[in-house]
Amino acid sequence: MANQLENLVESIKSKVKALKKSKKTYIKMDKSSSIKVEIRSRKARKLIDKTLKVADLPGKRSIS
């Protein structure tokens, strides 16, 4: 029983060391659909605000 416990502890130690040595300690997740919608709506809101700001200036016609 003690031998199995020692093997388990050694296995855990080696896995922890491997994780510490690796540069990537996390898995990058893809953006969910709700996050993508949120990003698009923020971009749209910024574009609308920019367009309205330019429209309020009588002398300037172009949006840059």
Quote the tokens at residue 55: 């429209």
The pTM of this model reads: 0.44
* Sign of the Cα pseudo-torsion (49, 55, 60, 64, in order): positive
What local confidence, expressed as pLDDT, does residue 23 receive? 67
CB-based contacts of 34, cutoff 8 Å, min separation 6:
none
Cβ–Cβ contacts within 10 Å for residue 10, how many? Answer: 10
DSSP 23: S
What local confidence, expressed as pLDDT, does residue 61 receive? 63
- Predicted confidence pLDDT, tens digits, the chain (64 residues): 678 888 889 998 888 888 777 666 667 778 888 888 999 999 999 999 999 988 888 776 666 5
